[in-house]
Amino acid sequence: MNEFLLIVVAYVIGSIPTSVWVSKYFFGIDIRDYGSGNAGATNTYRVLGSRWGTFVMVADVLKGVIATSLYILIPYYLQDEWHRTNLMVGLGLASVLGHIFPVFADFKGGKGVATLFGMVIAIQPLVAICCVGVFLLVLYLTRFVSLSSILASIAFAVFILFIFNEKETLYRVFAVAVALMVILTHQKNINRILNGTESKVPILKYRDRRRSRRKF
């Protein structure tokens, strides 16, 4: 199995439209016709609830992990770290591209953040954990999933370039590209945050209720 075929398989794995299939087969709707119109875990959480939103998020992360780990099918890459990292980046990007432009859902998918995170888990778990920490902290403080994703992607670039000081040029370029891609794909969310119209996820409701009572 050559590298090109692996990349095609990675794209196909990324193209599995988890949220679209879940919404159609279990609810008889297309998730892209509701909420933000996005075929991702966040919109699924808002429209179908936390149970299905969590399921979609885990499935989308696994797409990235599995696709990026396809390198194990070529024994050569098990022994060569430099080439392995480069192939993993290529496989991961193919899966993210598949998530954003899924062949099984009219090429109208999500923003690829969860699948991208799965890719980072496969390549460098420690960096992934650090990014999760940034994501959860921002989510706790703001309850904006979009802002959490943006800042976590920027943190990813900072971790790769400066904190962990990765030597692989392709990986460094990839880290910067990820931050830019997430920012670009969240332009509407950024505008809504600035306008005060971005919706917040319904977590920490009891904390917010307590704060509201204190004001009165």
- For the chain, the domain total comes to 2
Q: Are residues 113 and 197 in the same domain?
A: no
The secondary structure element, H or E, covering residue 68 is helix 50-68
Q: Are residues 23 and 114 in the same domain?
A: yes
Cβ burial, residue 137 (10 Å; 0-12/13-18/19+): middle
Please give the DSSP secondary-structure letter assigned to residue 141. Answer: H
C-alpha to C-alpha distances, 204 to 55, 80, 159, nearest whole angstrom? 20, 46, 29
Q: Are residues 99 and 118 in the same domain?
A: yes
**Domain region containing 163:** 124-216
Residue of 192, 81, 88, 83 whose CA lies nearest to 146: 192
Contact 64, 26 (CB under 8 A): no
Helix (H, G, I), strand (E, B) or coil at 208: helix
Q: Which of 97, 122, 147 represents a domain boundary (last residue)?
A: 122
Per-residue pLDDT of the chain (216 residues; tens, 9 = 90+): 699 999 999 999 999 999 999 999 999 999 999 988 989 998 998 899 889 999 999 999 999 999 999 999 999 888 888 889 899 999 999 999 999 999 999 999 998 999 999 999 999 999 999 999 999 999 999 999 899 999 999 999 999 999 998 888 888 998 999 999 899 989 989 999 999 998 887 665 555 555 555 555
Q: Are residues 99 and 180 in the same domain?
A: no
Q: Are residues 114 and 189 in the same domain?
A: no
Residues with Cβ within 8 Å of 163's Cβ and at least 6 positions away in sequence, in order, are: 130
